[in-house]
């Protein structure tokens, strides 16, 4: 069966109101389309958590830094709908830009702190665009639950902070990054890679995992980061925007592994910017799980 598609806030409200009368709980999976297995894993998690699942498809102009990037973003609504149908998603909400941002729209949601640095430093305004549209999607759907991928780890923090600060009553779940068999994190941007770039691209993940392993064993943070940065550049990546160790819970920059942490990276291969992150494994010491103690920076 096809997944029903609605394009207006009014249609969305009517559908959700009917579900609420039936006593159903509602989850939302926000996407910009070009759905891949990573998105589908979020939909599956949402279907486990709620009676009804809305997938949103909106290529949000406010979160793109360049008009060329926005124009090049894949738009594959028919294929996306076909991928959702067999999973049993209940609704595809695909508004156009005027429905989302009607004439005179003048509000921006800015989340300070967690949106600064990392992608925020290289994509000015990006997280304002994300926070604004996700706040609208939360309010438009009135969902109880929302599901986001951990691949966009900073985005997950921004969205959580925004919902908390604005008292939007929604529970947000971060789901693990889905990877190709060779380790490359799934991304809608992967289709832009040339054959040669696609062959080289998975080295980013393998370098990240190896660095995380060494950090978990107590290696020096600054040394591992500088070695990993050099390895990424040697692996056909043109530029490393950032490679940083950040606290898992707060996203604070860390010079030493003194709490649960993640290593996050953004790097360019050819014309394509890829991001990835891995959690630093915890070491098992005397039968107790602990984060490896105090590697000095």
Query: Any idea which residue has 């770039």 for tokens?
Result: 197
Residue 293 CB, nearest approach to ligand PAF (Å) = 35
Least Cβ distance, residue 213 to ligand PAF (angstroms): 28
Nearer to ligand PAF, 161 or 213 (CB): 161
Residue range at the interface with ligand PAF (CB under 6 A); choices 11-19, 27-35, 79-87, 222-230: 27-35
Total residues contacting ligand PAF by CB under 6 A comes to 10
Provide the mask over 106-135, with x wherever binding to ligand PAF is found by CB under 6 A and - wherever it is not.
------------------------x--xx-
Q: How far is the CB of 284 from ligand PAF (least distance, A)?
A: 34
Candidate list 13, 36, 39, 157, residue with the active-site label: 39
DSSP class of residue 71 equals H
Q: Is 30 in the site for ligand PAF (CB under 6 A)?
A: yes
> Which positions from 254 through 273 interact with ligand PAF, judged by CB under 6 A?
none
Strand partners, 267: 240, 274
**H/E element holding 39?**
helix 37-49
CA distance 93 to 233: 40
Distance separating alpha carbons of residues 179 and 181, to the nearest angstrom = 6
Q: Do residues 118 and 75 touch, judged by C-beta distance below 8 A?
A: no
Binding characters for ligand PAF, 35-64, by CB under 6 A (x = yes): -------------------------x--x-
d(CA 163, CA 174): 14
Distance CA 45, CA 150 (A): 13
What's the order of all strands across the beta sheet hosting 261-269?
A: 239-247, 261-269, 272-279
CB atoms within 10 A of CB 179: 16
Q: Torsion-angle region of residue 202: left (phi > 0), alpha (psi -120 to 50) or beta?
A: alpha
Q: How far is the CB of 158 from ligand PAF (least distance, A)?
A: 9
Indicate if 39 belongs to the active site. Answer: yes
**Would you say 93 or 216 has its CB closer to ligand PAF?**
93
Rounded least distance, CB 130 to ligand PAF, Å:
5
Tell me which residues are annotated as active site.
Answer: 39
Binding site for ligand PAF (CB under 6 A): 30-32, 60, 63, 130, 133-134, 152, 155
């Amino acid at each position: 069966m096809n997944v029903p598609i609605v394009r207006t806030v009014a249609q969305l409200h009517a559908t959700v109101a009917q579900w609420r009368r039936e006593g159903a709980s509602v989850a939302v999976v926000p996407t910009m389309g070009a759905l891949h297995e990573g998105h589908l894993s979020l939909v599956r998690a949402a279907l486990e958590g709620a009676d009804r699942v809305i997938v949103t498809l909106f290529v949000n102009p406010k979160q793109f830094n360049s008009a060329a990037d926005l124009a090049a973003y894949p738009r594959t609504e028919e294929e996306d709908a076909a991928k959702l149908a067999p999973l049993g998603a209940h609704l595809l909400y695909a508004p156009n830009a005027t429905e989302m941002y009607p004439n005179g729209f003048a509000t921006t949601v800015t989340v300070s702190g967690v949106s600064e640095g990392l992608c925020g430093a290289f994509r000015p305004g990006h997280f304002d665009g994300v926070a604004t549209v996700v706040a609208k999607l939360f309010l438009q759907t009135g969902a109880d639950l929302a599901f986001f991928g951990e691949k966009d780890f900073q985005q997950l923090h921004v969205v959580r902070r925004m919902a908390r600060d604005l008292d939007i009553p929604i529970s947000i779940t971060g789901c693990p990054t889905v990877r190709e068999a060779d380790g490359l994190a799934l991304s809608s941007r992967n289709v832009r890679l040339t054959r040669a770039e696609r062959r080289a691209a998975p080295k980013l993940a393998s370098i990240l995992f190896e660095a995380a392993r060494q950090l978990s064993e107590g290696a020096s943070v600054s040394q591992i980061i500088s070695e990993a940065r050099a390895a990424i550049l040697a692996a056909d990546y043109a530029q490393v925007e950032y490679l940083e160790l950040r606290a898992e819970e707060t996203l604070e920059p860390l010079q030493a592994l003194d709490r649960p942490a993640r290593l996050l990276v953004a790097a360019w291969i050819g014309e394509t910017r890829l991001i990835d992150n891995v959690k630093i494994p915890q070491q098992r010491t005397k039968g107790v799980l602990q984060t490896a103690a105090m590697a000095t920076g």
